[in-house]
Structure 1
Amino acid sequence: MEVLRVDEALHATLGRLVIGKSHSIIKGFSTDSRSIKPGEVFIALIGERFDGHHFIPEVLKKGAEGVIVSKDLPLTRFKPELAIKVEDTLKALGMLASYYRRKFQIRVVAITGSNGKTTLKEMTAKVLNQQFAVLASPKSFNNFIGLSLTLLGLEHKHQFLVVEMGTNHPGEIAKLTRIAKPTIGVITNIGDAHLEFLGDRWGVARAKFEIFEGIEDGVAILNQDDPYIISLGKELKLKKVTFGIKKKADLVASDIQSLGLEGIRFSLRVKIERKDETIEVKLPVLGTHNVYNALACGAIIKALDLEMDLLPKGLASFKLPSGRTGLIKIGKIMVIDDTYNANPTSTSEAIQTLMNLPTQGRKICILGDMLELGQAAKLFHMKTGEMVAKMGVDLLFTVGDLVRVSAQEATKAGLPPENVFVSEDNQETLERLLPVLKEGDVILIKGSRRMGMERIIESLKERLMVDS
């Protein structure tokens, strides 16, 4: 972060200076008492299960320069160098981020979609970093707090900013895009995610299209194979760059070849200076769905008017973010780690990825509940179970209440009952899995974020690496 004067922070947040001097300098902000650094200003957020005001003594002991609060507290007793009182600390965080963003003339790429946001963000950052200074939102910082903190990390050395924007309620992305002011907006796809709050796929699509509300004179990058995106995209007044596999688009992938454990190879056709050019791309990751992410990344490069050669060079050494169909060798088995989150579309893609792997061992699925699907939850879990059986999965383990019907439907669709294991939690699943594992088995592990499916992988590493 570049330095920000206290009077600027007061102006941005409409706050009142309680302690300190208005001409002092702020070197950084934090909302996390666990990771705050000396010299930073702590913003005391209030959530459903926490109140940052309770951690003020702790952060000051760790060297925090000051605090931004919304409650009346005896701040002089804590002796901070700076204290600012605001009406609402969460709103103040967004107001600070919005003010700070406008201090920079920088091209901002904002990414949303039901699946692939983080992978595409990481791909784009990897490709651009070959020649440019890029700031990308860390991990999956795609909500209001995460985006605001990312913006507050901007420095004048940065030439591009790449962020992702998530939502589970209408209006959330509109709020994010007004803060970030993107120059390019990308929608990867529309799927059955967060239906509990967004209703149906049209509701999802409308929520995702809010990303373009903050773009005044920029580019919309759209998946030409997605009917919801193409339908709503007709109304956009922005310049468009499209990508796809099945339909005519500005960037099209063809001759897609699986390289087994080594990834995927495909031919990319793109129009450059009115001529169609073909570029060979090798993508060292699993899953045909990642071809779409690579195409979207190429569309971003095209929209930025950069050399398309950056794409194959950058993607040649790309590694997937943790928990997103990465392949891990644990002892004498292989695990596809897709534990970060789950919805019906991403689960289907993950199972297809498992079944396409050319391995000698059995194909095993460990599936946890897919959450936030509303009234359609049971139907989607039933369809998943049927798909598991029809695609030829050898063993199915389920974790949680909702996914019990997946086990039932898998059995109805032909998976032998002795090959289906229903568990309440991750530990029970692990104890039932270990005795039946064989050398060469490949296991897909996937579930919604709150299911904590990554703990199964951690336990497998502890148990199998010791045994091997």
Structure 2
Amino acid sequence: MANRLTYTINDINVILGYSGRLPAPGNVVRHIVIDSRRLYFPDTSIFFALHSRQNDGHDFIPILYEKGVRNFVVSREIPANLYPSANFVIVPHVLAALQQLAAHHRHHFRYPVVGITGSNGKTIVKEWLFQLLNISYNIVRSPKSYNSQVGVPLSVWQMDAVHSLGIFEAGISLPGEMKLLQPVIDPSIGIFTFAGSAHNEGFENEIQKIKEKLLLFTSCKQLVYCADEKLLDEEVKNFAANHTIKLCSWGKGSHALMQVEMMERSRDRTRVNVNYHGKTAIWEIPFTDEASIHNSLTCCATMLLLGISIDAISDRLQQLKPVEMRLELKQGNHNCAVINDSYSADIHSLNIALDFLDQQQQHEKKTLVLSDLQETGEEAEKLYASIAAILQTRNLHRFVGIGPDLVAHQDLFSFIPHTSFHESTEELLIQLQRTPFKDETILLKGARAFRFEKIGRMLEQKQHQTFLEIDLNALRHNLRAYRNLLKDQVKVMAMVKAFSYGSGSFEIASLLQHAGADYLGVAYADEAVELRKGGIRLPIMVMNTEEAGFDQILKHNLEPELYSFNILRAFRNYLAQHRLTHYPVHIKFDSGMHRLGFESQDLAGLCEELAETREFKVISVFSHLAGSSDPKHDAFTRKQAGSFASAAAAIETAIGYSVVKHIANTAAIHRHPDLQMDMVRLGIGLYGIDENEAMQQQLKNVSTLKTTISQIKKLAAGESVGYSRSAIATEAMTIATVRIGYADGYPRLLSNGRGHMLVNGQLAPVVGRVCMDMLMLDISHIDAAEEDEVLVFGEELPVAQLAGWAQTIPYEILTNISQRVRRVYFED
């Protein structure tokens, strides 16, 4: 048995040490299955019939046997005549058997294994270590947040001889659980991320919880933790005294092995001075919030332990990217926005969620719906007094408390203008039927026991199951990626025209405002008006200025682009009628694009009129490059730049003061850095798309379009699919009807096999014609079920690929996504 790829069912029977009925003992096992809906390789899979409150895995044996599974681990006798060719290993406890098998498998490998536990930050630290170390190691790690009694063995089962480092996280909620997970991970290096008060429920006190978590490190050689947490520091040292463990602590105190001597935050990063074994390091962490800094420093201490040099750590930190978000923002009923955050229920995560709520500017009224925080384990009076103190720093319009503890302590929240308290979620649901929320941004923050998903379903707009996920962390990352290329003092105008390239309106603008964009650019005044109504305060340039929009421009303090004598004179006369002077405007010069703008022959007259008018204050002069992304047009780009520079200089001379000059678009930022001038206009790159391959590698995917399967049909040879019978089955075929069509923005050109979607990770071609509200996929080769999720485009199937099939550009695909497609926003 050289590695897991050569396990047989007989090997597994011997490892578990129990009786089995094995008619085919030589069956090879490579994959563990615990969910009948997630079966991909039936011939080489083994099903563990786990039992939970909701399901008994034994009930799914018939389905799995029919699908081809022949290896099972069960906890009761199964009639042999029903499954004559199936192997059954019979054990007292299926979960214990799963953990036992994974533990055996783990000890077949001798490379370092990092085990991570803590109250918060486990997944982030794991993912960041992967980002920081994957150039040095071939890493196997826990998928997502697989840190439970079931998730840990499934994670460890991934280990193979090709890897050189394992990183696994472990979470517990009750005493005794870590003792079961320790032999499964058996880490050589331990990380205790953060003690905190999260998930205290189930433990007598925080000390017991820390001691239980420390059991993961029983056989560790080295342990990383933050010594600034006094209780954790004390318990770690007591634990280490009874085990042969080298401690690698970090913190601000002089006793820490990695001492943080100075920390200085700027707009989007934090500068940290660290002393390690007498050597000084100066690192820049690309985050400014406390949690990210804490998690980053934990990663740094771990890298030092693994022998990564101080200089290498400095370089790698610049590549650190945010981890996938859990906060999600959705459109709600009655002009509300709903933020759903029920992942964890503690003060630390409440603060994070409140930060996200503060970012939202689309409504003046902010509402928090909060349940009892049962998992903290803290004394109720002290806990809710702390929460009340936090909320006093937030501008809340309404507070809704749910649970007996909050009802008992409601007087603590009397400073909030509107409050209501309910013993249960059901009480609130009844009230909302009579008096619903209206024109508010609502944060739902509830412990899982309170079933806040019921509130979410009531508040969220009822829309069809095609939705566009917008990764706000990715958008923030992309902005930072381009910012890192800019020279000092160069401003950024973020283009949010065309519904932010299909991604949303004020939701995107709110993030850009929070992330420090200097200007926003829109196509038409009505787009800017929506942003102002959504609370956006940044200066906004309106590029396609129309006389019909003058009233709105003044009313909402917008800044028009003036591109012709007609529009310039019309706006000047309008301002004169309103007795306004020095109104901010932007002058567009046509340097060769030949779309909008004053041309060279207009320059003398333009300068004369600008010099004579008091109605305008020219904020910027700009132009638009026609081919900045293509090297074959570089000579023309230089010609445009020279023409623009001359025009801008002439205008500045005429008006007698300097203006902001900008010509660089997304591609020019990195292809023509000398053209960055005073400001750049960042458009499609914000949304994760750049024609330059090297730059594309630095960006994160922002938009993911998904839909679901509504029905699956079996067709016989000769039967047709869709309108005009444009597709005829040449043999037996299985088709899936999915909930998206050309009315949602899916190109009709992708009919009859030109377009594809991902169904359970496999490409499925479009069969027949794309209909208005739906289309059909050929899934004959794919195991799928009705209501399964379908990926239209995203990380695994880039929108650029879809655009290529449709003989168009990603811009068109993104901006054509219908408004009826629900937008869901995520941020960590």
**TM-score scaled by structure 1?**
0.83
Cα drift, residue 32 of structure 1 = 1.7
Which SS does the other structure have where 2:292 is aligned? Answer: helix
Which SS does the other structure have where 1:294 is aligned? Answer: helix
Distance 2:285 2:123 in 1: 20
Match of 1:57 among 59, 62, 77: 62
Match of 1:123 among 121, 128, 141: 128
Cα drift, residue 255 of structure 1 = 3.0
Contact 1:107-1:183 at 8 Å conserved across structures: yes
| Equivalence map 1:87-98=2 (5 Å) | 87-98=92-103
Q: Which one has more relative contact order, counting CA pairs under 8 Å at least 6 apart?
A: 1
Whichever residue aligns with residue 446 of structure 1, its letter is: K
Which residue matches 2:180? Answer: 175
Whichever residue aligns with residue 293 of structure 2, its letter is: V
Which SS does the other structure have where 2:184 is aligned? Answer: helix
Contact 2:286-2:317 at 8 Å conserved across structures: no
Which residue matches 1:241? Answer: 248
1:394 aligns with 2:396: yes
Q: Kindly tell me: are residues 102 and 388 of structure 1, through their superposed partners in 2, closer, same or farther at Cα, counting changes over 3 Å?
A: same
- Give a deviation string over 1:160-193, Cα, whole Å, max 9, x none: 2111111122222132122211011111222223
Contact 1:381-1:405 at 8 Å conserved across structures: no
Which residue matches 2:770? Answer: none
Distance 1:187 1:6 in 2: 37
1:28 aligns with 2:27: no
Distance 2:340 2:451 in 1: 12
Which residue matches 2:110? Answer: 105
Match of 2:381 among 373, 379, 382: 379
- Give a deviation string over 1:312-354, Cα, whole Å, max 9, x none: 636645233332xx57586999876643111234334544x35
Cα drift, residue 103 of structure 1 = 1.2
Which SS does the other structure have where 1:55 is aligned? Answer: helix
Contact 2:259-2:276 at 8 Å conserved across structures: no
Match of 1:70 among 56, 65, 75: 75
Which residue matches 1:415? Answer: 416
Which SS does the other structure have where 1:57 is aligned? Answer: helix
1:278 aligns with 2:279: no
Match of 1:265 among 266, 269, 288: 269
Whichever residue aligns with residue 368 of structure 1, its letter is: S
Contact 1:355-1:363 at 8 Å conserved across structures: yes
Contact 2:399-2:416 at 8 Å conserved across structures: no
Which residue matches 2:500? Answer: none
Cα drift, residue 26 of structure 1 = 1.0
Which residue matches 1:10? Answer: 13
Which residue matches 2:445? Answer: 446
Whichever residue aligns with residue 296 of structure 1, its letter is: T
Cα drift, residue 133 of structure 1 = 2.4
Which SS does the other structure have where 2:286 is aligned? Answer: strand
Which SS does the other structure have where 1:209 is aligned? Answer: helix
Contact 1:280-1:312 at 8 Å conserved across structures: no
1:220 aligns with 2:223: yes
Distance 1:9 1:407 in 2: 55
Contact 1:378-1:405 at 8 Å conserved across structures: no
Distance 1:315 1:176 in 2: 34
Contact 2:117-2:213 at 8 Å conserved across structures: yes
1:232 aligns with 2:218: no
Cα drift, residue 368 of structure 1 = 3.0
Whichever residue aligns with residue 416 of structure 2, its letter is: L
Cα drift, residue 364 of structure 1 = 3.9
Distance 2:152 2:407 in 1: 37
Distance 1:406 1:444 in 2: 22
Which SS does the other structure have where 2:123 is aligned? Answer: helix
Match of 2:161 among 153, 156, 159: 156
Cα drift, residue 104 of structure 1 = 1.2
Cα drift, residue 433 of structure 1 = 6.6
Cα drift, residue 13 of structure 1 = 0.5
Whichever residue aligns with residue 425 of structure 2, its letter is: E
Whichever residue aligns with residue 447 of structure 2, its letter is: S
Which SS does the other structure have where 2:308 is aligned? Answer: coil
1:132 aligns with 2:137: yes
| Equivalence map 1:200-211=2 (5 Å) | 200-211=205-216
Which residue matches 1:189? Answer: 194
- Compare 307-316 and 173-182 and name the one that shifted more: 307-316
Distance 1:254 1:49 in 2: 51
Distance 2:247 2:168 in 1: 19
Cα drift, residue 230 of structure 1 = 0.8
Which SS does the other structure have where 2:92 is aligned? Answer: coil
Distance 1:334 1:253 in 2: 42
Whichever residue aligns with residue 267 of structure 1, its letter is: R
Distance 2:385 2:437 in 1: 27
Which SS does the other structure have where 1:214 is aligned? Answer: coil
1:369 aligns with 2:368: no
Contact 1:45-1:89 at 8 Å conserved across structures: yes
- Give a deviation string over 1:437-459, Cα, whole Å, max 9, x none: 2xxx5x54422234454676676
Cα drift, residue 307 of structure 1 = 4.1
Distance 2:412 2:20 in 1: 63
How many residues are treated as equivalent by the alignment?
A: 450
Match of 2:298 among 296, 299, 302: 296
Contact 2:132-2:316 at 8 Å conserved across structures: yes
Contact 2:251-2:260 at 8 Å conserved across structures: yes
Which SS does the other structure have where 1:22 is aligned? Answer: coil
Contact 1:328-1:336 at 8 Å conserved across structures: yes
Q: Kindly tell me: are residues 287 and 328 of structure 1, through their superposed partners in 2, closer, same or farther at Cα, counting changes over 3 Å?
A: farther
**TM-score scaled by structure 2?**
0.49
Cα drift, residue 424 of structure 1 = 2.5
1:306 aligns with 2:308: yes
Cα drift, residue 357 of structure 1 = 5.4
Unaligned runs of at least 5 residues, structure 2 = 464-506, 508-818, 824-828
Whichever residue aligns with residue 120 of structure 2, its letter is: N
Distance 1:33 1:362 in 2: 45
Which residue matches 2:323? Answer: 320
Contact 1:301-1:311 at 8 Å conserved across structures: no
- Compare 223-232 and 126-135 and name the one that shifted more: 126-135
Distance 2:436 2:188 in 1: 48
Contact 1:2-1:154 at 8 Å conserved across structures: no
Cα drift, residue 220 of structure 1 = 0.6
Cα drift, residue 146 of structure 1 = 0.9
Q: Which has the larger radius of gyration?
A: 2
- Give a deviation string over 1:71-90, Cα, whole Å, max 9, x none: 01103412344222223212
Distance 2:161 2:20 in 1: 28
Whichever residue aligns with residue 171 of structure 1, its letter is: G
Q: Kindly tell me: are residues 268 and 389 of structure 1, through their superposed partners in 2, closer, same or farther at Cα, counting changes over 3 Å?
A: closer
- Aligned-pair identity in percent equals 24
Contact 1:224-1:243 at 8 Å conserved across structures: yes
Distance 1:178 1:410 in 2: 46
Contact 1:252-1:295 at 8 Å conserved across structures: no
Whichever residue aligns with residue 448 of structure 1, its letter is: A
Distance 2:373 2:182 in 1: 28
Cα drift, residue 238 of structure 1 = 1.2
Contact 1:268-1:279 at 8 Å conserved across structures: yes
- Compare 302-311 and 163-172 and name the one that shifted more: 302-311
Distance 1:456 1:131 in 2: 46
